[in-house]
Structure 1
Amino acid sequence: MTAEASEKSAEEGMSSSGSAGTSGTRFTWRKETELRFEVEAGERVQLELLSGLAEVFGSELNRNKRYTFGPGSKIAVFTWQGCSVSLSGKTEVAYISKDTPMLLYLNTHAALEQMRRQAEKDHERGPRVCNGVGPMMSGKVKTVCRVLLNYAVRLGRRPTLVELDVGQSNVSVPGTMSALCTERPADVEEGFSVQAPLVFHFGSTTPGTNIQTYNKLTSSLAEVFSQRCEVNRKASVGGCIINTCGWVKGSGYQALVHCASAFQVDVVIVLDQERLYNELKRDLPHFVRVVLLPKSGGVVERSKDCRRESRDEKIREYFYGFRGTSFYPHAFDVRFSDVRIYKIGAPSIPDSCLPLGMSQDDTQLKLVPVSPGRDLTHHVLSVSSVDDDAEVGAGQSRGILESPVCGFIVVTAVDTQAQVMTVLSPAPRPLPRHTLLIMDIRFIDLK
């Protein structure tokens, strides 16, 4: 690894080096370049800043502090002035590159900050950015989002992260859509603090499974965000950064346009897709700025297995904390008669069989009762915040759909004879609410 890194640096004509030491491999490189490394499966890598200044996706590194990155991590350590770090552990690859888009990201941040200053001066709202629109499985999509949020927070802004990626969420468990007010830079290892997010249940890792519900929840998040901006000046000036799912064809493209309309976005950032850039320029209002940015040369596609492992790890973190060391979840029995379980979206049927005046869109928003059985085992359930006494009829279905969730549980076992199910919960019994929404997502607790 050391030889490859040194050879790469020499080829690029940089005053950079990698040298092996007793505590790991030492890398030294000059300003406006970055060290990229990927952690092998089953391994952990430690990073320590020895001298100079450096950051990871906009979060500054503290000198002489060791940061640990787990299996599958893909990290870029950027420096504006030059630095030296120590890297310990087994990496798939580690090299220094001057081919970095960080200067472009900084320029984008500077433009957004100028919009915030103008908003303060004119008593208007700050920029609303649909960020990270790009190819599916592009690791740089979330990177741009994180960099722009971190830079804004470091200037004292309070931007809101709106998470619409139901497959790989930054905020909550997979299968959800959420919003989070960011008040401090993301932790280098753990990401953004998620103490009080607003979370809506979607139930799947792909928007295409129920595009009507996806669009409906997008509108609900936009409405709640706008209401918050009316009563919180800092949130209004800070604006929002919207992380999309990366599905940009067919219904996915229409969902993207719907998102831009619902949030009344000012800026749309497109990563490395000139065709999409031109389509959005054509279809969005003239006052929306569509910006085309390149992706980093270090971006690699994430396999389906890698994405699945990432989802499992996110659920595991919810119950056990970061790296499974912080929380101690509870397991207890819940009687079938004490809860009501629903699935969002009825099966599609021919239009000729639908009741008069009803469309296929209505069936996608419908709540379908689920009878507890053995097939419920290992499913993730959202605990809805809706009042337990609320009747669930035609008029109340959307009320439950648009109510945020107050937590999640996993069904670990079902006893049909005793009419009880055993659940894994972050809090002790009883459940705070008794209306549960089932996800397509399964999680097997191996602890």
Structure 2
Amino acid sequence: LLHVIQALKISIVLVMGHDRLFSMMNNKLKNLDTGGATPKVIKLPRSGGVVSREASFQRQQKSNSIKRYFYGGMVKGPGGTSSTSTSGGDSSSKQQQQKPTIPLKIPELTPFAVMIKFADVTIYKFTSVSLSNNLLPMGATQETDAVQVVSVGSEEMTEQWTHAMLAVVHPAAVERYNQTLKASELYESSVAGFVVVEKVLMDTETLHLLSPCAGSLPSTTFLAGDVSFME
């Protein structure tokens, strides 16, 4: 979000009914270089009668959104199924009538499988080291990033990573991170896309990834959160 504000030179940011996000945006935008005036953050109240969705509904919607990312929407297929029914006109004859063909629904897109060795993969997990103001000396501010990342070693690559969703980091962001070692270079940069770990083969030390595009990935450096996807 900060990258979008900076790249598009946004001057006004509207936050609707989210106190924590409003406070975070105010703090972050004070030091953000947008090439002009500091963006103004305006908090808007929620409309009356707005209710939060149930957790089960939100999980289902999240799963549907991830599925559409890889498979697209459901469209009518070229074929269909048909069935017949029997109706009798009199006691001596029976006539078969065919029901209309029901079009099949098929995915609009076809994802692709990508296989990568453990040794060729770099995965970073998010960790938070944000300190409360009560834990800091009087008048002091935290100098490190509020969000940090740690690298996942090959010994940590187990079957528990199955169904994990990973963000593909742009090569340029990886290069900047290697030079500065600032975690913000990874998580504040736009990602190249997302993949899902379908299988973890321990005997061959290989990851089977589900990718929305054919061919090799633009980068083998990934960011891992707590989002998973199971078909």
Measured after TM superposition, the shift of residue 301 of structure 1 is 3.2
Residues 137-168 of structure 1 show CA distances to partners (whole Å, capped at 9, x for unaligned) of xxxxxxxxxxxxxxxxxxxxxxxxxxxxxxxx
Match of 1:368 among 141, 147, 150: 150
Q: Which residue in the other structure is 2:18 paired with?
A: 247
Q: Is 1:315 paired with 2:53?
A: no
What is the CA–CA distance in structure 2 between the aligned matches of 1:313 and 1:339, rounded to whole Å? 28
Q: Which residue in the other structure is 1:385 paired with?
A: 170
Q: Which residue in the other structure is 1:224 paired with?
A: 7
SS at match of 1:408: strand
What is the CA–CA distance in structure 2 between the aligned matches of 1:376 and 1:223, rounded to whole Å? 34
SS at match of 1:411: strand
Using CA pairs under 8 Å that are at least 6 residues apart, name the structure with larger relative contact order, 1 or 2: 2
User: Contact conserved, 1:388 with 1:434, CA < 8 A, in 2?
Assistant: no
1:42-53 alignment, distance < 5 Å: none
> Percent identity of the aligned residues?
24
Q: 2:68 is matched by which residue type in structure 1?
A: E
What is the CA–CA distance in structure 2 between the aligned matches of 1:349 and 1:258, rounded to whole Å? 15
Higher helix share: 1
Distance change >3 Å, CA 265–CA 347, structure 1 → 2:
closer
Residues 46-68 of structure 1 show CA distances to partners (whole Å, capped at 9, x for unaligned) of xxxxxxxxxxxxxxxxxxxxxxx
Residues 81-126 of structure 1 show CA distances to partners (whole Å, capped at 9, x for unaligned) of xxxxxxxxxxxxxxxxxxxxxxxxxxxxxxxxxxxxxxxxxxxxxx
Distance change >3 Å, CA 420–CA 245, structure 1 → 2:
farther
Distance change >3 Å, CA 330–CA 361, structure 1 → 2:
farther
Higher strand share: 2
Structure 2 gap segments, 5+ residues each: 33-37, 75-105, 133-140
User: Contact conserved, 1:331 with 1:424, CA < 8 A, in 2?
Assistant: yes
What is the CA–CA distance in structure 2 between the aligned matches of 1:361 and 1:442, rounded to whole Å? 32
Measured after TM superposition, the shift of residue 363 of structure 1 is 5.8
Q: Which residue in the other structure is 1:410 paired with?
A: 196
1:73-88 alignment, distance < 5 Å: none
Distance change >3 Å, CA 225–CA 365, structure 1 → 2:
same
Q: 1:404 is matched by which residue type in structure 2?
A: S
CA RMSD of aligned residues (A): 3.6
Q: Is 1:424 paired with 2:210?
A: yes
User: Contact conserved, 1:379 with 1:411, CA < 8 A, in 2?
Assistant: yes
User: Contact conserved, 2:3 with 2:190, CA < 8 A, in 1?
Assistant: no
What is the CA–CA distance in structure 2 between the aligned matches of 1:331 and 1:363, rounded to whole Å? 35
Measured after TM superposition, the shift of residue 268 of structure 1 is 4.2
Measured after TM superposition, the shift of residue 258 of structure 1 is 4.0
User: Contact conserved, 2:164 with 2:226, CA < 8 A, in 1?
Assistant: yes
User: Contact conserved, 2:197 with 2:210, CA < 8 A, in 1?
Assistant: yes
User: Contact conserved, 1:388 with 1:435, CA < 8 A, in 2?
Assistant: no
Q: 1:419 is matched by which residue type in structure 2?
A: E
Q: Which residue in the other structure is 2:116 paired with?
A: 334
Structure with larger Rg: 2
Distance change >3 Å, CA 380–CA 422, structure 1 → 2:
same
Distance change >3 Å, CA 348–CA 224, structure 1 → 2:
closer
Q: Which residue in the other structure is 2:55 paired with?
A: 304
Q: Is 1:343 paired with 2:128?
A: no
Distance change >3 Å, CA 240–CA 410, structure 1 → 2:
farther
Residues 318-374 of structure 1 show CA distances to partners (whole Å, capped at 9, x for unaligned) of 001124621110123211122211123356799xxxxxxxx8662643221013222
User: Contact conserved, 1:342 with 1:438, CA < 8 A, in 2?
Assistant: yes
What is the CA–CA distance in structure 1 between the aligned matches of 2:197 and 2:64, rounded to whole Å? 17
Structure 1 gap segments, 5+ residues each: 1-217, 230-238, 273-294, 351-358
Q: 1:377 is matched by which residue type in structure 2?
A: T
User: Contact conserved, 1:382 with 1:409, CA < 8 A, in 2?
Assistant: yes
Measured after TM superposition, the shift of residue 426 of structure 1 is 0.3
What is the CA–CA distance in structure 1 between the aligned matches of 2:127 and 2:56, rounded to whole Å? 27
Distance change >3 Å, CA 400–CA 389, structure 1 → 2:
closer
What is the CA–CA distance in structure 2 between the aligned matches of 1:414 and 1:315, rounded to whole Å? 20
1:34-73 alignment, distance < 5 Å: none
Measured after TM superposition, the shift of residue 253 of structure 1 is 4.4
Q: Which residue in the other structure is 2:98 paired with?
A: none
Distance change >3 Å, CA 347–CA 373, structure 1 → 2:
farther
What is the CA–CA distance in structure 2 between the aligned matches of 1:300 and 1:348, rounded to whole Å? 31
Distance change >3 Å, CA 266–CA 388, structure 1 → 2:
closer
Q: 2:229 is matched by which residue type in structure 1?
A: F
Distance change >3 Å, CA 379–CA 265, structure 1 → 2:
same
What is the CA–CA distance in structure 2 between the aligned matches of 1:436 and 1:257, rounded to whole Å? 29
